[in-house]
């Protein structure tokens, strides 16, 4: 295989991936239910004196009505396992777990609480595997919000 | 330029792809302004010593770390250094390539991310495609692909991220994280703060790794130092500015760090109404990850090949190369081990859940390389002062002592249990990490040295 053929193959694979990614990405996640969930998430943050990660439109456009980008991967455990390797400090190659506090997982907990509470047990099991240097900023009883 | 040569700028970008990316940015953004301190201090005590000392050594000796340690300490320690570099990479690939899988799933269909099978398929497909490319293309092709990847997937999105962050502030929006002088340092919480700061000393690990390709430069004594200086500047910019920009726009602890950099980009794009860029950015970030992967695939394994050939440290089977000089059998065997690890990582939750322990052990083993590197540099300056060098690092003893102490401190702090070690006895953690470092860093290389046979030293065994 010549070098030109290698470059052509790599470019071809990336071009195909680009088309697939541009076609399949959901550009219109915002709907009435997404707005309602976004309001709920903002209220949850504000109730605890935290700044929401955006306004209603912004959150609805990113998370939609199901926050699938957060909720879907929880089930298989790989993403949570990977998160364990990435809760720390470092660069790309070298990354070390450190003693941290619960603020790193607020987003995960809050989003799951609002969008996919059925996954909360999984997340709680995951969080139980940590010893944070302070008490969790969002308590478990907030799931009723 | 012949296809097996590397331009010094490509080598600089390969070094950047080995050390820095946008992947850690959302996590580091949680520290807000203090992330600047968390990266600048290690730059002073670790990055600058490592880069300048490596620049001097590469400008005088070819072959990279193994050769420097061989010349400066002993051939056996040279082999140990090559092994310490190589061992880390095996455990690194599953986490890096699972990030590729989750980035693809984020854009294409989030439901894919719920499948461990999808993750396993992506890891294994990409890994073996990388091996195929390395074997067919040689280092010249890898250098071009890797440097293009870091440009497309790290530098351009990084500039975009920082640019959007600045525009956000110029629009009159308040920064999500406080940016006043009172937040320059991480909040002091005792031992946790020491662990936080010292653990990050090794953040720039890998700066020296591409020195193994120094012979592929046209004028190594002059070009390698230039490549290192460019890489230092880019690595600092890439690691410091993007987390800062994220912390201006998004309180990143309030997004889910499982979706990390993609969700951060998506949130910023949603603010500006330019979410059409999300899939393009996703692909760019995949390209950057693959650039880093290809660079790591071609570096430490070549180092192991060179030391195996020079000293006959591995059986002739592992010394076989392709006609482009690529370490074919080392890559194949490494591939089998990586495939098994990847399957366990993606399909067995207990393995992915405990993987952070492997990473803690292997980063400590990798840091051992720096201990040998700084000792070797001191010895070489003392014992071979007249050996021609294209570059002489200023205040070499100070650099070596500083880098050595920083590396030793980062190794030592890895024995302190992090938050991930919830309820266990701290001494159990010390025993786990100590055993891991002992087995991977001491017992295996010593056993390989003891098992070595004189017949393993062969001149050339083409595939």
**pLDDT, tens digit (0-9, with 9 covering 90-100), for B258-298:** 778 998 999 999 999 999 999 999 999 999 999 999 999 98
- Kindly provide the b/e burial profile for residues B186-201, where b requires at least 16 CB atoms within 10 angstroms of the residue's own CB: beeeeebbbbbbbbbb
Residue B463 forms part of a structural domain: no
Could you list the residue range(s) of the whole structural domain that residue A122 is in?
29-144
> How confident is the model at residue A138, as a pLDDT?
54
Give the whole-angstrom CA distance, residue A65 versus residue A45. Answer: 18
ipTM over 0.90 threshold: no
For B:25-54, CB contacts with A below 8 A are 27-28, 30, 38
Chain B residue with minimal CA distance to A89?
Answer: B200
- Cα–Cα–Cα angle for B297, B299, B300, rounded to 5 degrees: 90
Share of chain B above pLDDT 70, in %: 98
């309820």: which residue's tokens? B423
Residue A16 forms part of a structural domain: no
- Kindly provide the b/e burial profile for residues B88-118, where b requires at least 16 CB atoms within 10 angstroms of the residue's own CB: bbbbbbbbbbbbbbbbbbbbbbbebbbbbeb
Residue A116 forms part of a structural domain: yes
How many structural domains comprise chain A? 1
Residue B2 forms part of a structural domain: no
How many structural domains comprise chain B? 1
Q: Which of B209, B419, B422 to mutate to test the interface with A (most CBs of A within 10 A)?
A: B419
B103 token code pair: 């980035």
Residue B3 forms part of a structural domain: no
Residue A121 forms part of a structural domain: yes
Q: What stretches in chain A show pLDDT beneath 70?
A: 134-145
B195 token code pair: 């662990």
How does residue B373 score in pLDDT terms, banded at 50, 70 and 90? very high
Residue A51 forms part of a structural domain: yes
Could you list the residue range(s) of the whole structural domain that residue B118 is in?
8-456
Residue A24 forms part of a structural domain: no
Nearest CB to A10: which of B106, B113, B145?
A: B145
Is there a contact between B23 and B260 (Cβ–Cβ < 8 Å)?
Answer: yes
Compute CA distances B341 → B84, B94, B140, whole Å: 18, 7, 29
Residue B378 forms part of a structural domain: yes
Is there a contact between A82 and B346 (Cβ–Cβ < 8 Å)?
Answer: no
Chain B residue with minimal CA distance to A77?
Answer: B349
For B:313-372, CB contacts with A below 8 A are 345-346, 349, 351-356, 359-360, 363, 366
Is there a contact between B61 and B71 (Cβ–Cβ < 8 Å)?
Answer: yes
Of B48, B17, B29, nearest to B396 (Cα)?
Answer: B48
Inter-chain residue contact A70 with B203, CB threshold 8 Å: no
Q: Which residues make Cβ contacts (< 8 Å) with residue B417, sequence separation at least 6? A: A99, A131, B424, B426, B429
Residue B300 forms part of a structural domain: yes
Indicate the pTM of the whole model.
0.91
- Cα–Cα–Cα angle for B361, B124, B358, rounded to 5 degrees: 10
Residue B462 forms part of a structural domain: no
Of B365, B423, B451, B12, nearest to B213 (Cα)?
Answer: B12
Residue A8 forms part of a structural domain: no
Average pLDDT (B223-240) is 94
Give me the CATH number covering residue B88: 1.20.1740.10
Residue A2 forms part of a structural domain: no
Mean pLDDT estimate for chain B: 91
């Amino acid at each position: 295989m010549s070098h030109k053929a290698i470059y052509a193959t790599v470019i071809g694979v990336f071009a195909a991936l680009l088309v697939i990614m541009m076609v399949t990405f959901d550009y219109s996640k915002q709907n009435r239910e997404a707005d309602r969930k976004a309001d709920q998430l903002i209220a949850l943050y504000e109730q605890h004196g935290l700044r929401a990660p955006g306004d209603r439109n912004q959150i609805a456009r990113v998370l939609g009505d199901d926050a699938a980008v957060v909720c879907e991967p929880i089930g298989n455990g790989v993403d949570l396992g990977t998160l364990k390797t990435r809760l720390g400090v470092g660069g790309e190659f070298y990354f070390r777990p450190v003693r941290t506090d619960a603020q790193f997982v607020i987003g995960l907990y809050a989003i799951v609480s609002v969008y996919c509470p059925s996954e909360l047990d999984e997340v709680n099991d995951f969080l139980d595997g940590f010893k944070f240097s302070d008490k969790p900023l969002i308590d478990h009883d907030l799931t009723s919000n | 330029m012949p296809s097996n040569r590397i331009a010094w700028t490509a080598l600089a970008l390969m070094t950047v792809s080995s050390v820095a990316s946008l992947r850690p940015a959302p996590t580091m953004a949680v520290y807000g302004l203090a992330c600047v301190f968390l990266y600048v201090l290690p730059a002073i005590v670790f990055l600058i010593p490592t880069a300048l000392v490596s620049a001097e050594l590469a400008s005088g000796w070819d072959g990279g770390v193994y050769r420097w340690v061989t010349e400066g300490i002993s051939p056996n320690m040279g082999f140990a250094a090559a092994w310490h570099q190589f061992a880390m990479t095996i455990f690194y690939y599953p986490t890096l390539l699972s990030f590729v899988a989750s980035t693809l799933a984020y854009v294409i269909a989030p439901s894919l991310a719920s499948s461990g099978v999808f993750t396993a398929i992506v890891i294994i497909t990409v890994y073996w495609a990388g091996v195929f490319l390395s074997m067919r293309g040689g280092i010249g092709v890898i250098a071009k692909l890797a440097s293009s990847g870091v440009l497309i997937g790290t530098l351009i999105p990084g500039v975009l991220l920082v640019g959007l962050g600045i525009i956000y502030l110029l629009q009159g929006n308040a920064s999500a994280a406080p940016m006043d002088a009172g937040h320059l340092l991480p909040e002091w919480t005792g031992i946790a703060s020491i662990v936080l700061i010292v653990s990050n000393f090794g953040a720039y690990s890998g700066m020296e790794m591409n020195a193994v390709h120094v012979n592929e430069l046209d004028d190594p004594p002059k070009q390698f130092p230039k490549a290192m200086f460019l890489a230092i500047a880019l690595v600092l910019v890439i690691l410091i500015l993007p987390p800062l920009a994220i912390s201006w726009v998004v309180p990143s602890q309030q997004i889910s760090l499982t979706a990390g950099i993609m969700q951060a980009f998506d949130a910023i794009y949603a603010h500006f109404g330019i979410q059409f860029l999300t899939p393009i950015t996703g692909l760019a970030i995949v390209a950057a990850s693959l650039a880093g992967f290809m660079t790591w695939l071609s570096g430490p394994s070549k180092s192991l090949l060179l030391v195996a050939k020079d000293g006959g440290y591995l059986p002739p089977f592992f010394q076989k190369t392709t006609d482009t000089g690529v370490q074919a059998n080392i890559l194949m065997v490494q591939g089998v081990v990586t495939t098994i690890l990847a399957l366990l990582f993606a399909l067995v939750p207990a393995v992915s859940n405990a993987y952070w322990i492997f990473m803690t052990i292997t980063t400590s083993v990798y840091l051992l390389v720096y201990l040998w590197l700084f000792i070797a540099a001191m010895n070489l300056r003392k014992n071979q002062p007249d050996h021609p060098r294209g570059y002489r690092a200023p205040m070499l003893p100070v650099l070596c002592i500083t880098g050595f102490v920083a590396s030793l401190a980062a190794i030592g702090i890895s024995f302190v249990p992090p938050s991930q070690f919830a309820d266990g006895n701290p001494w159990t953690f010390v025993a786990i990490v100590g055993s891991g470092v002992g087995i991977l860093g001491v017992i295996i290389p010593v056993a390989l040295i003891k098992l070595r046979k004189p017949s393993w030293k062969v001149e050339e065994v083409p595939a």
